[in-house]
Structure 1
Amino acid sequence: MARWAILGTGFISQTVAQAIQAHPRSELLTIAGRNADRVADFQAKFDIPKTSIGYEDALADPEVDIVYIGLPNHVHHTLTAQAAAAGKPVLSEKSLTTTMDQAAELVAAVRAHDTFFVEGFMYLAHPLYQRLTEVLTDGRLGKLRSIHGFYSAAISNVTNPLGRGTIYNLGCYPASLAHLVVQVMEGEGAFASARLGGFGVTEPDHGTLVDAAVTAKIGDVLVNLHSTDSYGMAHEFVIAGECGTLKFLTNPWRPNAGDNRILWQPYKGEGEEIVVNTGQDDFYHQVAMVEANVAAGNREASRPSPRIQDSLEIMAFLTQWEALCLKG
């Protein structure tokens, strides 16, 4: 059994707790947080054996095999460094951090202590993305020409301003999926060559972005992404090639335990629905992916889940997108 410690008592940590407890080779051993009442409530809800007020005891516990960091992204680098120093494998929530300097600190700590790390783009662990990779490489699309992604949710009133706004809250999802598509179809390192232009709308009290759009040119491929925390509850992702399009009919960033559907539509001829149903959702598959990698002694995930260099390339894209929006 892989024994997990969860750092943080928020909504996302509760979702991960459910996934850990559903997995046959994982056990939720410890819940850690700074608020004693919230820690106690979390412990009672999930019947967890141990608690830690603060994070030090959980990280020092020799019985803990894996650490999940479900805390705001501006502390990911410091807590990952502490976990790595304690020799703990880490699953840390997206976005990787909020700056490239923080990202460099995080990666340096993981590499210095030779520990496993993966960023929590949970959706990429779902088998839907192995199937997508197969479709992207089977030739039906022809040459990749464009990508369009949109994600919106009216959550700006409950988000932490230290998380730096919609690009890191929601825009990271279409950006990370565009990264995978470009990497698969255009090759390693292609995404890092992107030339960007972007505009955004800021929240007046904190100055963080609540609405942000970016256009990127990668070789001959155009990528248009848009995210907003200020309205809606919607998703869209379309991949266009010379021969047809792939359009997600279900939420690409929350693959569920039922039917997950992508429409292949050639420009000539009938379309085809591609359906993937594994009976488990994305968070369950993420726990399974981490457990399998740690059991195998790996230091990072394999694609479609993000490797460390993938996370750095995505983070560089996000920070450039933010800078352009704030400038413009």
Structure 2
Amino acid sequence: MDEAEEEIERLEHIRDDRSMRQHCALKHGIVKEFLAEFLGTFVLVLFGCGSVAQTVLSRNTLGEPLTVHIGFSVGLMMAAYVAGGVSGGHVNPAVSLAMVILGKLKIWKFPFYVIAQFLGAFAGAAAVFGLYYDAFMDFTSGILSVTGINATGHIFASYPARHLSILGGFIDQVVGTGMLVLCILAIIDGGNIGAPKGVEPLAIGLIIMAIGVSMGLNCGYPLNPARDLGPRLFTAVAGWGMEVFRYTAGYWWWIPVAGPMVGGVIAAVIYYLLIELHHHRDEPDKPHEEEEDSLKDKYEMITMS
């Protein structure tokens, strides 16, 4: 009797668990995708900006440029694992726009993806600030600034190196994001070599590592409007003030927003025209071949008669 009662109790528990899942599970796909993009971008910013915070606030005793590259690379990889199976794990408006251009994302979903990405990045920046709040106060003596020896604004958003012009920064972001999107498209392209199923996030993380060690000098390779503008908005309201938008005569803040979007579109067009357009596809050609054979048979019958 004891075993029977235990089995009945176990079955009832399974039934209740399924009922709860059915009750709580989201029915609308776009809501699930929205939440996935939000959480994925949150993970990216938490790991990425967190690695910068640890480096800066420890005055380089617990970090260096390489650890920042690792933080963002692993952050993007984990973000792709978190959101990839639900929304594709774009976590970047430039990537989402490229997918719209190529017909891989419905255009009406694009605004939802972008809003989720910006909110996730904002929340990720807030989490980093909360995690290291005491360290921020100790490092800055309570004065949060964008410039100076104790500047901390660059922990959350990108700022240009002294040698970089506005045009140079825009080109930097177009090229850097273009390479990111181009390589992502190659990784997920079933008609190309691609990456084994489940390994795609690792390969995408390695793209960021490659970009970081080769294109990070000018402005730190933001490559992502949400990852840059979301945390920048957070710093504006958290104590750094509007200086985060007024920095440099050309108002730098728009460069990591516009540049990546342009770079993503250009990369999508280039990859399609140079690679994807030329994939060999047998099935679509078969109807044309059959039609040609039929016309040829009819022509032979006419000429013979």
TM range (shorter): under 0.3
Higher Cα Rg, which structure: 2
Please state which structure has a larger fraction of its residues in helix. 2
TM-score for the superposition, normalised by structure 1: 0.23
Q: Structure 2 length as normaliser, TM-score? A: 0.25
Does 1 or 2 have the higher relative contact order (CA < 8 Å, sep 6+)?
2
| Structure having the larger proportion of residues in strand | 1
